Structure 1
Amino acid sequence: MTRIVLVHGIAQQFKGTESLLADWYPALSDGVGLASNTRIARNDVSMAFYGDLFRSAGHRGLGVPELDASDVQDGLERELLLRWWKFAAERETGVPGPDVPARLRTPNAIQRALDALSHSRFFAGLSERMLIFSARQVRIYFTEPAKRADIQRRVAEQVTPETRVIIAHSLGTVVAYEALCAHPHWPDLSLVTLGSPLAIRNLVFDRLIPQPTTGYARWPAPVTRWTNIADEGDVVAMVNELAPRFGERVRDLAVHNGARAHDVGSYLTARETGQAITMALKRGNASG
């Protein structure tokens, strides 16, 4: 019986369902345990895995294409990297911002963004090509309808009449939101979003399906309770509060994840996340 469905974010193409669950399940259990005496059984949880749909075939090394600044496409990829740069520079003294004079050898804005992000605590350890490939996955999701439909199908395959809560992280919050809107007859359930970029105007919010109107998004019909949790330093989320765009029924909560602001493990072990999950399961039991 799958009561909890998990939806991961970008840059998981080299993992799989079980390897992700090996990371998510203990952290989820710790967060719930911190918030209550509830115990989450392993068979209560399933992962809507779609990372393999971004995995490139036939490349050397780790399977990530050999990308550099010249490969960044205009539009969403470029704008996302520039927004990440600006946000990181505003919050980290070690990250030079766009207003800092460029060195003569790096006049290109994208190369400057990549160089600056390499000094960010958030992106520490990520190679230039992985940064670009992460932005590319977001672009692919929003611009390739067949891929978008395949990814949402992975979520739909995991949702059952017993499902009580969907927990989504990063790009996975976009996937979960759109899947919920596309299935208005799913049984009532709760949604917990972690580090969500859903409210980022132009890059994410305005590209959602169904398309928002007059600055407001549609409420996903199956959702009876929506808790959104964000760290103010989360570069991927950028906009911490979803209620202004998705409705006052969204409960926005702030957490502090330390240097790893976007890390899903840090989100899952937070007491606030555990409380949201516990409440969702109790509500589900009461209605069932």
Structure 2
Amino acid sequence: MTRVVLVHGIAQQLKGPETITEAWLPSLNDGLAISGSDTLSRQDVAVAFYGDLFRRPGHRGLGEPPLDASDVEPGLEHELLLAWWQAAADAEAPVPGPDAPARLRTPRVVQRALNALSHSAFFAGLAESAMIGSARQVRRYFTEPEVRRAAGERLTRAVTGETTVIIAHSLGSVVAYETLCAHPQWQDLTLITLGSPLAVRGLVFDRLRPAPTGGTARWPVPVKRWINIADRGDAVALIKELAPSFGTRVQDLMVNNGAHAHDVRPYLTARETGLVLAEALG
């Protein structure tokens, strides 16, 4: 009985629905337990997994050459990396900002962005190729119709008549929003978005389907309640509050995730998340 559907975000292409569940469910139950609520069983949750859509196919070589700054495509990939850089610099003292003097060895603005992001909590330990790959997944979702359609279909298949809550992290919140808008026949769902980039104008918001009108996005008909949860230091959720863009019915909450502001696990273990999930489950 699928009561809760989980929708993951970027950089999950080497995992699968079982490994996502294994990682998310204990944190989800910690949040419920901390809030004083009953926990969920494995049968209560399902993962709308779409990460494999971004997994590069194998080939006969020893491995694909890693991506570097020269591989960053102009437009969305470039602008997204710069936006992450600015947000990380604003939130974290160790991250040099775009106004910091450039080193002679890194004159290119993209290379400077990648170097700076390597000092951020979210991107620390990631190779340049992985950072570029994260931006590329966002670009591919919005520019490759088959990827966008397939991601939505994965969520559509996961939702059942017993589903009452959809929890979506990062890019998964975009998948969830668009899929919910496309299925007005669904009813009485609670949407919980974590670290969502939905309100980022120019990069995400203006690319949504259905397209926003007059600066405001359409309310997803099946959603009776929408709670958006963000950490102030989350460099991916560049705009922390969704209510100004999606309507005052959105309830925006702030949490403190510590050093790993965009990581889904501290989002799930937060008491605030546990309380709204428990209320949604009745």
Paired position in structure 1 for 2:35: 35
Match of 1:119, SS state, is: coil
Q: Return the alpha-carbon distance in structure 2 between the equivalents of residues 134 and 121 of structure 1.
A: 15
Match of 1:275, SS state, is: helix
Contact 1:64 1:130 in 2 (8 A): no
Contact 1:64 1:133 in 2 (8 A): no
Contact 1:193 1:228 in 2 (8 A): yes
Structure 2 residue identity aligned to 1:55: R
Structure 2 residue identity aligned to 1:47: V
Q: CA deviation at 1:58?
A: 2.4
Percentage of matched positions with identical amino acids? 65
Q: Return the alpha-carbon distance in structure 2 between the equivalents of residues 98 and 203 of structure 1.
A: 19
Paired position in structure 1 for 2:228: 228
Instruction: Determine if the alignment matches structure 1 residue 219 to structure 2 residue 214.
Output: no
Paired position in structure 2 for 1:286: none
Structure 2 residue identity aligned to 1:139: R
Contact 2:3 2:44 in 1 (8 A): yes
* Structure 1 segments of 4+ aligned residues over 3 angstroms from their partners: none
Contact 2:212 2:218 in 1 (8 A): yes
Q: CA deviation at 1:65?
A: 5.3
Deviations 1:218-275 (A, max 9, x none): 0000000000000000010011100000000000000000000011010000010011
Q: Return the alpha-carbon distance in structure 2 between the equivalents of residues 233 and 108 of structure 1.
A: 26
Counterparts in 2 of 1:117-132, with a 5 A limit? 117-132=117-132
Deviations 1:139-192 (A, max 9, x none): 000000111000000000011111000000000000000000000001211000
Contact 2:5 2:163 in 1 (8 A): yes
Q: CA deviation at 1:105?
A: 2.2
Q: Return the alpha-carbon distance in structure 2 between the equivalents of residues 64 and 191 of structure 1.
A: 38
Q: CA deviation at 1:122?
A: 2.1
Match of 1:22, SS state, is: helix
Q: Return the alpha-carbon distance in structure 2 between the equivalents of residues 64 and 16 of structure 1.
A: 21
Q: Return the alpha-carbon distance in structure 1 between the equivalents of residues 5 and 168 of structure 2.
A: 8
1:37/1:101 Cα in 2 relative to 1: closer, same or farther (>3 Å)?
A: closer
Q: Return the alpha-carbon distance in structure 2 between the equivalents of residues 203 and 37 of structure 1.
A: 38
Q: Return the alpha-carbon distance in structure 2 between the equivalents of residues 172 and 65 of structure 1.
A: 28
Contact 2:102 2:112 in 1 (8 A): yes
Q: Return the alpha-carbon distance in structure 2 between the equivalents of residues 54 and 18 of structure 1.
A: 18
Paired position in structure 2 for 1:142: 142
1:64/1:213 Cα in 2 relative to 1: closer, same or farther (>3 Å)?
A: farther
Deviations 1:180-206 (A, max 9, x none): 000000121100000000000000000
Paired position in structure 2 for 1:152: 152
Q: Return the alpha-carbon distance in structure 2 between the equivalents of residues 230 and 257 of structure 1.
A: 9
TM-score by length of 2: 0.97
Q: Return the alpha-carbon distance in structure 1 between the equivalents of residues 46 and 219 of structure 2.
A: 24
Q: Return the alpha-carbon distance in structure 2 between the equivalents of residues 234 and 56 of structure 1.
A: 28
Paired position in structure 1 for 2:250: 250
Paired position in structure 1 for 2:47: 47
Contact 2:92 2:233 in 1 (8 A): no
Paired position in structure 1 for 2:15: 15
Q: CA deviation at 1:37?
A: 2.8
Counterparts in 2 of 1:1-288, with a 5 A limit? 1-58=1-58, 66-282=66-282
Contact 1:138 1:171 in 2 (8 A): yes
Contact 2:189 2:223 in 1 (8 A): yes
Contact 1:231 1:255 in 2 (8 A): yes
Contact 1:56 1:65 in 2 (8 A): no
Contact 2:177 2:220 in 1 (8 A): yes
Contact 2:37 2:274 in 1 (8 A): no
Structure 1 residue identity aligned to 2:181: C
Identify the range of structure 1 (98-107 vs 210-219) with the bigger mean alpha-carbon deviation: 98-107
Q: Return the alpha-carbon distance in structure 2 between the equivalents of residues 259 and 242 of structure 1.
A: 23
Q: Return the alpha-carbon distance in structure 2 between the equivalents of residues 207 and 67 of structure 1.
A: 25
Count residues with an aligned counterpart: 281
Structure 1 residue identity aligned to 2:231: D
TM-score by length of 1: 0.95
1:112/1:52 Cα in 2 relative to 1: closer, same or farther (>3 Å)?
A: same
